[in-house]
Amino acid sequence: DAGVIQSPRHEVTEMGQEVTLRCKLISGHNSLFWYRQTMMRGLELLIYFNNNVPIDDSGMPEDRFSAKMPNASFSTLKIQPSEPRDSAVYFCASSLEREANYGYTFGSGTRLTVV
Amino acid sequence: GDSVTQMEGPVTLSEEAFLTINCTYTATGYPSLFWYVQYPGEGLQLLLKATKADDKGSNKGFEATYRKETTSFHLEKGSVQVSDSAVYFCALTLNTNAGKSTFGDGTTLTVKP
pLDDT tens digits for range A2-61: 799 999 999 999 999 999 999 999 998 989 999 999 989 889 999 999 999 999 999 998
Question: A104 vs B106: CB contact, 8 Å cut-off?
Answer: no
Residues within 8 A of B (CB atoms), A 32-71 only: 33, 42-43, 45, 48-50, 55-56
CA distance A75 to chain B (A): 17
Among chain A residues, CA nearest to B37: A106
B71-75 contacts: CB < 8 A, separation 24 or more? Answer: B71/B24, B71/B25, B71/B26, B71/B27, B72/B22, B72/B23, B72/B24, B72/B25, B73/B23, B73/B24, B73/B25, B73/B33, B73/B35, B74/B20, B74/B21, B74/B22, B74/B23, B75/B19, B75/B20, B75/B21, B75/B23, B75/B35, B75/B47
For chain A, say whether B32 makes contact (Cβ under 8 Å). Answer: yes
For chain B, say whether A100 makes contact (Cβ under 8 Å). Answer: yes
pLDDT at A65 over 70: yes
Compute the average pLDDT of residues B82-111: 90
pLDDT in tens, B23-58: 999 998 889 999 999 999 899 999 999 999 999 999
Choosing among A32, A101, A102, A111, which should be mutated to test the B contact, i.e. which has the most B CBs within 10 A? A101
pLDDT at B93 over 80: yes
Predicted confidence band at A99 (pLDDT cuts at 50, 70, 90)?
A: low
What local confidence, expressed as pLDDT, does residue B8 receive?
86
User: How many residues appear in chain A?
Assistant: 115
pLDDT at B94 over 70: yes
